């Protein structure tokens, strides 16, 4: 161990004072003695996670020159530099992702939406139905990669509630076992505790799916993948992935471990880089662990990865415990019926505003097919003018957020001065903290992230119209889950 007190090193050789002294130290000091040239280098004390900077120089002269070594603990500085490097990388990737996300999400909304309509029109027995299904699968994969990249850069919208992670994992177990395969064993160990966290359930489930998928790819037939969840007290700051430090506090620790091949130190060091993967082409995007990291930091949590070649891998997730108990109210039977029954529009008037013609056309077509009477507009100003022309009060508004002339928030504000209880569903291809979603959409508002399918759109509209009476009385809507499958 490193001797931190001066009395512990006086009179001792470097080798005894620092048992981790590498082989090159004596050679370095011999070079300093021979040449008289000072040499500065760094050394990491692996057992303590500390970084030392050694400045060696010659003192004295013949017949007995000596080498003096000044050691400085530069751990804090190095961690700060690494954090800055990571922040710069996140900013660069985030700028790229955010810059293209809006356009990609708009176009993928049209691709997935009209593609689903085409597939429905063809019917399951049509010769080209399978081809169209492949088109939709490719579109969903492209949309998923875009969302994963946004998650890594912490720009994904979250809908948080108070969760029991043990309950979430238990509910998801059948899906995880199917993902893992029947030739491998999934073990779920739920330890005593039961502390709650405040998180987005969809994103928690996606984190579990990603980690189990990674474990599946790293294991062979007969291997075991375990998920362990329990309360954890961090009594002293702990190092985490990407030079994060876990602060003292109470956490729920979720660990996904496998008995597979493990990773080398070099692979582990790069495993959180976006698009880095050791899998063969077509089997991975290199966004699995980066997405996990982005999700955890978005939730003020931390990731610790432990691995070694031939010893498997364990990824530990530290979720901060919440003391809040502000769970959303349980849905009433009326609200649950939204998911069970296909509720037709019944002639209700819906105002749709979107400056992307393909998206506006898709939304209009899908809602009209369900029996809604739809008024379409190319932007907020056109929507207001159209309402004046037809002298109609809409029963619901579906609007894009960023539009020329009048954005979605401004349109909603104007309409609600006339009809305060008017339900509004916001949608956008933009996403992210500090982005237009956070700036322009009220936190309690109903929101649908592009790209979405016709089924997701109809679910969001029905849930907004037929939410719980308490939500309707408060002028609010229940949060919209945008991950349901096309009906």
374 confidence band (pLDDT: 50, 70, 90) = very high
CA angle 353–481–358, rounded 5-degree value? 30
Using only C-alpha atoms, what is the Rg of the chain?
A: 28
Distance of alpha carbon 134 from alpha carbon 10, whole angstroms: 72
Q: What proportion of the chain, given as a percentage, has pLDDT over 70?
A: 73
6 confidence band (pLDDT: 50, 70, 90) = very low
Residue 365 CB-density burial (10 A; 0-12 exposed, 13-18 middle, 19+ buried): middle
Q: What are the residue ranges spanned by the domains of the chain?
A: 6-73, 79-152, 161-320, 333-473
Instruction: Write out the two tokens for 203.
Output: 């994103």
pLDDT, residue 103, reads 74
Higher pLDDT, 100 or 43: 43
187-190: long-range contacts, CB 8 A cutoff, minimum separation 24: 187/224, 187/225, 187/226, 187/227, 188/226, 188/227, 189/226, 189/227, 189/228, 189/229, 190/166, 190/229, 190/230
pLDDT, residue 431, reads 59
DSSP state of 20: T
169 confidence band (pLDDT: 50, 70, 90) = very high
Region 91-117: what's the mean pLDDT? 75
Closest CA to 91 of 463, 450, 433, 439: 433
Higher pLDDT, 90 or 350: 350
Q: CA-CA distances (angstroms) from residue 40 to 24, 48, 161, 289?
A: 13, 21, 52, 36
Higher pLDDT, 59 or 155: 59
**124 within 8 A of 264, measured Cβ to Cβ:** no
Distance of alpha carbon 379 from alpha carbon 399, whole angstroms: 9
Q: pLDDT (tens digit, 9 = 90+) per residue, 49-70? A: 678 888 898 988 778 888 888 8
Higher pLDDT, 248 or 323: 248
Region 23-44: what's the mean pLDDT? 85
Alpha helices per DSSP H over 328-466: 333-340, 357-369, 380-390, 408-418, 436-440, 454-465
Higher pLDDT, 443 or 91: 443
Least confident of 98-112, 267-281, 354-368, 422-436: 267-281
Closest CA to 427 of 413, 410, 445: 445
Region 80-108: what's the mean pLDDT? 68
The yes-or-no verdict on residue 372 having pLDDT over 70 is yes
Distance of alpha carbon 370 from alpha carbon 382, whole angstroms: 24
Least confident of 34-38, 73-77, 210-214, 276-280: 276-280
345 confidence band (pLDDT: 50, 70, 90) = low
Annotate 191-216 with DSSP letters as a single string: -S----EEE-HHHHHHHHHHHHHHHH
136 confidence band (pLDDT: 50, 70, 90) = confident
Region 297-315: what's the mean pLDDT? 89
**308 within 8 A of 250, measured Cβ to Cβ:** no
**163 within 8 A of 199, measured Cβ to Cβ:** yes
Looking at the structure, give the CATH architecture of the domain made up of residues 79-152. Orthogonal Bundle (1.10)
Question: Average per-residue pLDDT in the chain?
Answer: 78
With both helix axes pointing from N to C terminus, report the angle between 408-418 and 380-390 in degrees, rounded to the nearest 10: 30
The yes-or-no verdict on residue 485 having pLDDT over 50 is no
pLDDT, residue 99, reads 58
Q: pLDDT (tens digit, 9 = 90+) per residue, 178-219? A: 888 888 999 999 987 778 999 988 889 888 988 998 889 888
Distance of alpha carbon 49 from alpha carbon 270, whole angstroms: 18
pLDDT, residue 437, reads 64
pLDDT, residue 167, reads 93
- List 307's β-bridge partners, or say none: 313
Higher pLDDT, 169 or 392: 169
pLDDT, residue 10, reads 61
Least confident of 65-79, 281-295, 327-341, 357-371: 327-341
CATH fold of 161-320: Heat Shock Protein 90 (3.30.565)
pLDDT, residue 14, reads 66
Pairing of strands 249-258, 313-320: antiparallel
Looking at the structure, give the CATH architecture of the domain made up of residues 333-473. 3-Layer(aba) Sandwich (3.40)
275 confidence band (pLDDT: 50, 70, 90) = low
Q: How many other CB atoms are found less than 10 A from the CB of residue 49?
A: 11
Instruction: Write out the two tokens for 206.
Output: 């996606």
pLDDT, residue 152, reads 52
How many helices (H) and strands (E) would you count in the chain? 15, 17
DSSP state of 321: B
48 confidence band (pLDDT: 50, 70, 90) = low
Estimate the share of the chain in helix, then strand, then coil, as percent rounded to the nearest 5.
45, 20, 35
Region 13-17: what's the mean pLDDT? 68
pLDDT, residue 429, reads 81
Pairing of strands 245-246, 224-234: unpaired
Q: Tell me whether domains 161-320 and 333-473 share a fold.
A: no
Higher pLDDT, 349 or 15: 349
């Amino acid at each position: 161990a490193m001797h931190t007190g001066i009395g512990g090193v006086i009179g001792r050789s470097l080798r005894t004072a620092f048992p981790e002294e590498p082989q090159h130290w004596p050679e370095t000091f011999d070079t300093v003695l021979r040449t008289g040239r000072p040499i500065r280098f760094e050394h990491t004390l692996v057992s303590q996670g500390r970084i030392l900077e050694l400045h060696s120089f010659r003192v004295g002269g013949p017949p007995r020159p000596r080498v003096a070594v000044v050691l400085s603990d530069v751990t804090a500085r190095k961690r700060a530099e690494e954090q800055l490097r990571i922040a710069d990388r996140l900013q660069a990737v985030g700028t790229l992702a955010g810059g293209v996300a809006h356009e990609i999400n708009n176009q993928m909304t049209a691709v997935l939406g009209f593609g689903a309509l085409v597939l429905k029109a063809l019917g399951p027995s049509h010769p080209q139905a399978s081809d169209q299904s492949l088109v939709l699968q490719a579109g969903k994969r492209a949309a998923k990669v875009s969302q994963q990249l946004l998650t890594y850069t912490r720009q994904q919208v979250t809908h948080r509630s108070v969760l029991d992670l043990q309950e979430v994992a238990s509910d998801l177990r059948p899906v995880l076992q199917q993902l893992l395969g029947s030739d491998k064993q999934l073990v779920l160990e739920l330890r005593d505790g039961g502390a709650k966290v405040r998180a987005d359930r969809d994103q928690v489930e996606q984190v579990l799916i990603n980690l189990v998928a990674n474990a599946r790819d790293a294991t062979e037939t007969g291997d075991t993948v375990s998920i362990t969840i329990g309360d954890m007290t961090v009594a002293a700051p702990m190092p985490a992935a990407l030079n994060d430090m876990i602060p003292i506090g109470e956490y729920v620790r979720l660990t996904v471990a496998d008995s597979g091949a493990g990773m080398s130190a070099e692979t582990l060091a790069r495993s959180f880089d976006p698009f880095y993967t050791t899998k063969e082409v077509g089997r991975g995007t290199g966004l699995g662990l980066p997405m996990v990291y982005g999700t955890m930091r978005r939730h003020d949590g931390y990731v610790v990865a432990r691995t070694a070649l031939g010893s498997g891998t364990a990824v530990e997730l530290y979720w901060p415990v919440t003391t809040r108990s502000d769970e959303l109210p349980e849905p009433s039977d009326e609200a649950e019926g939204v998911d069970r029954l296909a509720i037709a529009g019944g002639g209700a008037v819906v105002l749709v505003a979107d400056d992307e013609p393909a998206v506006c056309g898709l939304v209009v077509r899908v809602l009209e097919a369900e029996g809604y009477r739809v008024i379409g507009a190319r932007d907020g100003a056109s929507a207001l003018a159209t309402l004046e022309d037809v002298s109609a009060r809409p029963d619901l508004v579906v609007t894009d957020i960023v539009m020329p002339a009048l954005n979605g928030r401004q349109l909603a504000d104007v309409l609600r001065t006339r009809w305060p209880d008017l339900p509004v569903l916001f949608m956008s291809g933009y996403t992210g903290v500090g982005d237009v979603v956070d700036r322009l959409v009220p936190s309690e508002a109903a929101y649908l992230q592009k790209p979405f399918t016709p089924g997701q759109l109809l679910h969001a509209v029905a849930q907004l119209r037929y939410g719980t009476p308490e939500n309707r009385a408060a002028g609010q809507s229940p949060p919209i889950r945008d991950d349901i499958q096309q009906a």
